[in-house]
């Protein structure tokens, strides 16, 4: 079978490597891909959001399954394009993808069906939002309604910073926020957790828990990013908590979508806060997490094509996943200036081969390209250094030894990934 992977990040490199392990797969295309996917698959010069060209490519090249990595094409309705052309695609349809595409829609679904989440207020006018902020006690949580690449949430105790976040939320130039809506939410207290599951619209097949690091560094007020690292499993997740998340959040959400007339097929990702009152949803995503995938995939022993094809066919009931006993720590290496700019110099990256030779280490490429036979920077998050180990001490040691081998000007990374797992 030929497979098309849509996207260009570390998540897509991880998925591509795992898909290529399957005996079901003969060839993989990646659109548009990156420097890492170019080494193992066929990069295709089609943007991830160019839905019509992607479906034409899939049909013309007899692709058996298209796997969509990023959220933007899913929210734009790529599922509808593939359904219309009778092409198989892994990922929810446009209606179901609005769980991520609109935070207000997700809140509405959760409130309607009793899925635990924090309180929120919705604003369509800048001045109304500012008046509301001034009357509430800190800390403040401000979210844009639409997509923002992981950078549309501000949590702060500073009123002026919260007001600035509201102002940015109503700025069409900054976010994919077509609804011009901003949410101000209750600030939940606890610890964060990412739970992902395959869904065929009726059944779910949970993956192992993971925890990511959203802020650029360890400073309390450092900016939010798309994610600076992750680890899996999460020792604080007891079997009882794991089951509670499945029964009170994941299953009810899939059932809720069905009651709303939408069959949710693909990955459902719940970003959670584990509070004193139990798990509550911070947000839903409609795809594999990035960087969580880069900590989960190395631990997966099973053929990933089995659950993906079962999802597309509509019956996950007979599928089970097998996991390696090792833990995984994944460190993101980013470019200087990230996340404050979209323009990065095409600097050469050195040491990737040396880093890859360390036991248990896999390097997943994100913002890279190949120029004159060498890897160069092509984005904000450049590489993911994932390391397996018998425990998090060993996984961290291997990951950071690999990070030390990689060199380019102004590179930045967090030094505390998976410390909480020890």
Q: Give the tens place of pLDDT for each residue, 210-220.
A: 999 999 999 87
d(CA 74, CA 92): 7
Burial category of 323 from C-beta neighbours within 10 Å (exposed 0-12, middle 13-18, buried 19 and up): middle
Domain 327-421 adopts which CATH fold?
3.90.600
Level-2 CATH architecture, domain 191-313: 2-Layer Sandwich (3.30)
DSSP sequence for 322-365: -B-SSEEEEEEEE-TTTTS-S-----B-B-HHHHHTSTTEEEEE
- Tell me, what's the pLDDT at 177? 47
- The CATH 3.40.50.20 portion of the chain extends over 2-94
CATH 3.30.470.20 in the chain, residue ranges: 191-313
Cβ neighbours of residue 333 closer than 8 Å, sequence gap 6 or more: 381, 382, 383, 384, 385, 403, 406, 411, 412, 413
pTM of the model: 0.96
The pLDDT value recorded for residue 210 is 99
CA 271 – CA 282 distance, rounded (Å):
5
Tokens linked to 285? 């995503």
19 token code pair: 């898909």
Tokens 């020890």 -> residue: 422
The whole-number pLDDT of residue 172 equals 59
Region for 300 from its dihedrals, namely left if φ exceeds 0, alpha if ψ lies in -120 to 50, beta otherwise:
beta
Sequence ranges of the chain with CATH classification 3.90.600.10: 327-421
Identify the CATH number of the domain defined by range 2-94: 3.40.50.20
What is residue 151's predicted lDDT score, i.e. its pLDDT? 76
Q: What is the pLDDT at residue 175?
A: 56
Q: For residues 231 and 419, what is the distance between their CA atoms, to the nearest angstrom? A: 9
Task: Report the CATH superfamily, name and number, of domain 121-185.
Answer: ATP-grasp fold, A domain (3.30.1490.20)
Per-residue pLDDT of the chain (422 residues; tens, 9 = 90+): 999 999 999 999 999 999 999 999 999 999 999 999 999 999 999 999 999 999 999 999 999 999 999 999 999 999 999 999 999 999 999 999 999 999 999 999 999 999 999 999 999 999 999 999 999 999 999 999 998 877 789 999 999 999 999 998 887 555 554 557 999 999 999 999 999 999 999 999 999 999 999 999 998 778 889 999 999 999 999 999 999 999 999 999 999 999 999 999 999 999 999 999 999 999 999 999 999 999 999 999 999 999 999 999 999 999 999 999 999 999 999 999 999 998 999 999 999 999 999 999 999 999 999 999 999 999 999 999 999 999 999 999 999 999 999 999 999 999 999 999 88
Residues of the chain with CATH 3.30.1490.20: 121-185
How many CA atoms are closer than 13 Å to the CA of 49, on its beta-carbon side? 5
Cα-Cα-Cα-Cα torsion 347, 336, 420, 242, nearest 10 degrees, comes to -80
Report whether the peptide linkage leading into residue 142 is cis, meaning its omega lies within 30 degrees of zero. no
């Amino acid at each position: 079978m030929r497979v098309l992977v849509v996207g260009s990040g570390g998540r897509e490199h991880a998925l591509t490597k795992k898909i290529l392990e399957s005996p079901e797969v003969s060839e993989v295309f990646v659109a548009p891909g990156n420097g890492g996917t170019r080494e193992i698959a066929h990069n295709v010069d089609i943007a991830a959001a160019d839905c019509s060209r992607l479906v034409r490519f899939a049909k013309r090249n007899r692709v058996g399954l298209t796997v969509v990595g990023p959220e933007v094409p899913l929210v734009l309705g790529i599922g509808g394009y593939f359904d219309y052309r009778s092409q198989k695609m892994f990922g929810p349809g446009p209606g179901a993808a609005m769980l991520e595409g609109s935070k207000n829609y997700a809140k509405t679904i959760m409130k309607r069906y009793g899925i635990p989440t924090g309180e929120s207020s919705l604003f369509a006018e800048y001045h109304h939002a500012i008046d509301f902020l001034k009357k509430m006690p800190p800390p403040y949580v401000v979210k844009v309604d639409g997509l923002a690449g992981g950078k549309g949430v501000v949590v702060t105790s500073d009123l002026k910073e919260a007001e600035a976040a509201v102002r940015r939320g109503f700025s069409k130039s900054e976010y994919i926020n077509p609804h011009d809506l901003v949410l101000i939410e209750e600030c939940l207290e606890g610890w964060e957790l990412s739970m992902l599951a395959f869904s065929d619209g009726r059944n779910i097949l949970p993956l192992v828990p993971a925890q990511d690091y959203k802020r650029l560094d360890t400073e309390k007020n450092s900016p939010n990013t798309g994610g600076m690292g992750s680890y899996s499993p999460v020792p604080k997740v007891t079997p009882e908590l794991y089951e509670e998340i499945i029964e009170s959040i994941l299953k009810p959400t899939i059932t809720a979508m069905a009651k709303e007339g939408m069959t949710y097929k693909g990955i459902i990702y719940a970003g959670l806060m584990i509070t004193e009152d139990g798990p509550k949803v911070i947000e839903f995503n409609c795809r594999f997490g990035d960087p969580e995938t880069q900590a989960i995939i190395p631990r997966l022993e099973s053929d990933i094509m089995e659950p993906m094809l079962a999802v597309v066919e509509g019956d996950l009931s007979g599928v089970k996943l097998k996991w390696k006993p090792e833990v995984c720590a994944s460190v993101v290496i980013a470019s200087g200036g990230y996340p404050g700019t979209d323009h990065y110099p095409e600097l050469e990256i050195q040491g990737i081969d040396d880093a890859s030779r360390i036991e248990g280490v896999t390097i997943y490429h994100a913002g890279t390209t190949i120029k004159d036979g060498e890897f160069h920077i092509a984005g904000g998050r450049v590489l993911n250094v994932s390391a397996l180990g018998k425990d998090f001490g060993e996984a961290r040691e291997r990951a950071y030894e690999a990070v030390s081998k990689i060199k380019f000007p102004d590179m930045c990374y967090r030094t505390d990934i998976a410390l909480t797992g020890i």
